[in-house]
Amino acid sequence: MTESDFSALEDMIYSGRGIVLGMTEDGKPMIGYTLTGRSPSSQARELVYDHKSNTLRTVPTEMEKIDPRFAALLTYPVMTFIPELNTAVVSNGVQTELLYSYVRTHTDNTDISSIMREALCRPIDMYDAANQRYIDITSYEPDDPNFTPRISGVIRGNEAGFSVISNKDGKKSPARYIRELEPGKGFLITTYNGGNEKPLLPFTREPVEVTIGEQRREADDLSGSLVSDLYSAIGGNRSKENSYAVSAAVIILDTIPEIAIMNR
């Protein structure tokens, strides 16, 4: 029985947020999402799935701990699944909604690369009322000094697309990758390169290959096994005082999606 291998994530001291797009050994597309945080504000969140809208979101657990300067960057729709199109979009910010709208209006089998390029190629401003400013949701995040990259993914059948938009000398630097998925394999991107520097260094590599195992801790509970492995990879099995782990989620895409979530 194949064991999952998320060692690339486990080797990172601080990954920020992570996206895994892959395929189970029986050929079902899957999405993994990991959330870590160093500050009390970043840690005061959890992942919640809304079955009615097929949407995974970050929501505050203790609103008084959320830093108002970054509130618009901390709560967002993570993932939306569109069953009739066999497609899902995922990101570390409000650009999830943007990608969703493009998928919805491109139902003619437009390739994933074109959808991601069109959706994320030009500035689109969102008003941040708390700070009385506009945020370009197609650029890196305005969280000086880290300038966290915006990472996104689209998965349809056995094809996965990744986008990483980072800061390079004060300008946005986009990178896109398309990967064909195979049973038992997946690919990982994160916001940060894995160290714990100040400021944090952005993820600048190509998507890292990971293994999607088939082990089940409970009968027919593959998503639960995978989310446990992902949560462990970000340090979730350590004490809260010694771990940056906040949440992990796994969604196996099917007519009725299989969802598992672990929160701090």
* pLDDT tens digits along 209-255: 999 987 655 545 667 789 999 999 999 888 887 899 999 999 999 88
Q: Which residue has the higher pLDDT, 64 or 214?
A: 64
Residue 202 located in a structural domain: yes
pLDDT digits (tens, 9 = 90+) for 7-29: 999 999 999 999 999 999 999 99
pLDDT computed for residue 219 by the predictor: 45
Residue 2 located in a structural domain: no
Number of domains in the chain: 1
pLDDT computed for residue 86 by the predictor: 86
pLDDT at 93 over 90: yes
Radius of gyration of the chain (CA): 17
Residue 162 located in a structural domain: yes
Q: What is the 3-state secondary structure (H, E, C) of 94-144?
A: CHHHHHHHHHHHCCCCCCHHHHHHHHHCCCCEEEECCCCEEEECCCCCCCC
Residue 1 located in a structural domain: no
Q: Which residue has the higher pLDDT, 1 or 241?
A: 241
Tell me the C-alpha distance between 89 and 105, whole Å: 14
pLDDT digits (tens, 9 = 90+) for 114-154: 999 999 999 999 999 888 999 999 999 999 999 999 999 99
In terms of Cα–Cα distance, which of 33, 19, 78 is closest to 248? Answer: 33
What range defines the domain where residue 170 resides?
7-263
Is the separation of the CB atoms in 155 and 31 below 8 Å? Answer: yes
Tell me the C-alpha distance between 17 and 149, whole Å: 10
pLDDT digits (tens, 9 = 90+) for 183-222: 999 999 999 999 999 999 999 999 999 999 876 555 456 6
Percent of the chain with pLDDT over 90: 81
CATH of the domain at 253: 3.60.20.20
